[in-house]
């Protein structure tokens, strides 16, 4: 009887080992098949790799294009086979069924010479200004750029966190990273915007920033909106952290300070929204951006901020201030109470008067 039980246990163990071996072999074959590619039929697909794309972003694009089945496996293979850091940008025509090695070789190959053009998109530019800049550089038209900046079909996981609220002027404003870029002269508006988004991801969505953002209580879009206001309200990087503290204090003490009252949001209405609508702005749109009337942040960013403004939005100085005003020399005057603020306004006006300016400057 005892020997019978031992034989049963032995058989059970062998069966389990056999099943495990079968699973391991099956898994190995699946992985090998994925890496080796499939049967080629001559079918090709063109993928666009934005400048500065990470291996993760490239893997997602290949997956969405039907060229690979497992982005994580591709990333591991790329890292172990020298793909990381060597990928080129641009449009590539790739054959379905290609192996990982063939895909990496193609994507790391320098494309044949094509003329490029350099364009600088400064910190603080909004989408309308960037559209004019790329058009002036001889790239796509301003209209095409704005159309691309209102699309959300880009291969980035975080795109889904951006609102498509119909009151927003430009959906991706705030995420069009400002920098100096080199584009192929035949780059499409989609290519240009995609490259800016890839740069945003690379420069700002670091693990450190994502952790700080989670602790801040802001959403990704609120961070971009907040940073855009800090960018436009500040004369220099040092002041960004004090300016940020004022708006953080107002948001936190919303019972006493329900409105941000940022002049730059109204400037955006006057300088860009009203001309766009030929001065017939829908009230809902105007209300969505007017921080003298609405509570909290505006519905969308008013500019594309640089890394310093984004950092200041996450890490404001610890101050008691709720007000500030700026003079023509870009000196910032901060105040805790409204009475102190009124006194600071008079100081700023006095400085402005020496330059022949009557009153305050805004934005």
Q: pLDDT tens digit string along 176-235?
A: 999 999 888 888 999 999 999 999 999 999 999 999 999 999 999 999 999 999 999 999
Q: How confident is the model at residue 285 (pLDDT cuts 50, 70, 90)?
A: very high
Structure confidence at residue 113 (pLDDT): 58
Structure confidence at residue 321 (pLDDT): 98
Q: What is the pLDDT of residues 153-176, one digit of tens each?
A: 998 999 999 999 999 999 999 999
- Report which of residues 297 and 116 the model is more confident about: 297
Q: What percent of the chain has pLDDT over 90?
A: 64
- Is the confidence at residue 22, as pLDDT, over 70? no
Q: How confident is the model at residue 279 (pLDDT cuts 50, 70, 90)?
A: confident
- Is the confidence at residue 111, as pLDDT, over 80? no
- Report which of residues 305 and 16 the model is more confident about: 305
- Is the confidence at residue 9, as pLDDT, over 70? no
Q: Which of 56-70, 79-93, 144-158 has the lowest mean pLDDT?
A: 79-93
Structure confidence at residue 118 (pLDDT): 93
For residue 114, report the phi and psi dihedrals to the nearest 5 degrees. -140, 140
- Is the confidence at residue 7, as pLDDT, over 80? no
Q: What is the pLDDT of residues 291-326, one digit of tens each?
A: 999 999 999 999 999 999 999 999 999 999 999 999
> Would you say 303 and 125 are in contact if contact means Cβ atoms under 8 Å apart?
yes
Integer Cα distance of 347 and 363 in angstroms: 18
Structure confidence at residue 155 (pLDDT): 85
With tokens 């246990």, the residue in question is 9
- Is the confidence at residue 151, as pLDDT, over 60? yes
- Is the confidence at residue 12, as pLDDT, over 80? no
CATH topology of domain 44-108: Dna Ligase; domain 1 (3.30.1490)
For the chain, domain boundaries: 44-108, 116-204, 216-353
Structure confidence at residue 130 (pLDDT): 98
Give the chain's mean pLDDT: 89
- Span 87-108, average pLDDT: 86
Structure confidence at residue 44 (pLDDT): 84
Structure confidence at residue 238 (pLDDT): 95
Structure confidence at residue 363 (pLDDT): 55
Structure confidence at residue 86 (pLDDT): 85
Q: What is the pLDDT of residues 28-74, one digit of tens each?
A: 656 676 787 777 677 888 888 887 788 999 999 998 888 888 888 88
């Amino acid at each position: 009887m005892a020997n019978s039980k031992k034989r049963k246990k032995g058989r059970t163990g062998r069966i389990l080992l056999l099943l495990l071996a079968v699973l391991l072999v099956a898994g190995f074959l699946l992985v090998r098949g994925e890496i080796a590619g499939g049967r080629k039929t001559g079918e090709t697909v063109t993928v666009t790799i934005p400048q500065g794309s990470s291996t993760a972003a490239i893997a997602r694009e290949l997956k969405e294009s039907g060229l690979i089945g497992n982005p994580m496996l591709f990333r591991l293979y790329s890292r172990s086979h020298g793909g990381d850091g060597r990928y080129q940008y641009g449009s590539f025509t790739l054959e379905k069924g290609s192996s990982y090695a063939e895909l990496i070789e193609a994507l790391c190959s320098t494309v044949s010479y094509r003329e490029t053009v350099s364009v600088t998109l400064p910190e603080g530019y909004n989408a309308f200004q960037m559209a004019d800049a790329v058009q002036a550089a001889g790239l796509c038209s301003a209209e095409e750029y704005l159309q691309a900046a209102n699309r959300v079909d880009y291969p980035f996981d975080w795109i889904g966190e951006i609102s498509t609220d119909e009151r927003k002027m430009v959906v991706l404003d705030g995420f069009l990273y400002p920098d100096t870029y080199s584009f192929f002269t035949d780059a499409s508006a989609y290519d240009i915007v995609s490259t800016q988004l890839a740069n945003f991801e690379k420069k700002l969505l670091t693990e450190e920033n994502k952790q700080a953002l989670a602790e801040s209580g802001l959403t990704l879009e609120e961070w971009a909106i907040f940073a855009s206001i800090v960018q436009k309200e500040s004369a220099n990087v040092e002041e960004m952290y004090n300016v940020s503290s004022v708006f953080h204090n107002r948001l936190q003490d919303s019972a006493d300070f329900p409105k941000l009252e940022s002049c730059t949001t109204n400037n955006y209405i006057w300088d860009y929204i009203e001309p766009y609508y030929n001065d017939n702005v829908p009230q809902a749109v105007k209300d969505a951006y007017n921080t003298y009337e609405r509570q909290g942040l505006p519905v969308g960013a008013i500019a594309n901020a640089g890394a310093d403004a984004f950092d200041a939005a996450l890490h404001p100085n610890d101050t008691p201030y709720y007000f500030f005003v700026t003079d023509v020399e870009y000196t910032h005057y901060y105040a805790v109470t409204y009475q102190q603020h009124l006194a600071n306004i008079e100081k700023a006006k006095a400085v402005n008067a020496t330059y022949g300016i009557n009153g305050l400057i805004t934005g």
